[in-house]
Structure 1
Amino acid sequence: MMVVLRPLAWMNTHVLRLGRRLGAVALALMVIVILTQVFCRYVLNNALAWPDEAARFLMLWLVAFMAPSAMRWGGFVAIDTLPNMLSRVPGLVLHLVLLCCALMVLLIALQHGYAHTFGFGGRFDSSSLRVPLEWFGGEGFKIKLRYMYGALLFCVAMLFVVTVELILRTFMTLISPATELPDTDEFAVAMGAGD
Structure 2
Amino acid sequence: MGKIIISENVTLDGVVQDPTGDEDTGRGSWFTWIGEQDRAAWAEVEHEEALGAEALLMGRLTYAYFLRRGWPSRTGEWADRLRSLPKYVVSSSAVSGWDTTTVLTGIDEVAKLKEEVSGEIIVYGSGRLVHDLIEHDLADELRLMTYPVVVGAGRRLFPETSGVKPARLIGTRAVGDSLALLTYAMR
In the superposition, the TM-score normalised over structure 2's length comes to: 0.22
- Bigger radius of gyration, 1 or 2? 1
Larger RCO (CA under 8 A, 6+ residues apart): 2
Higher strand share: 2
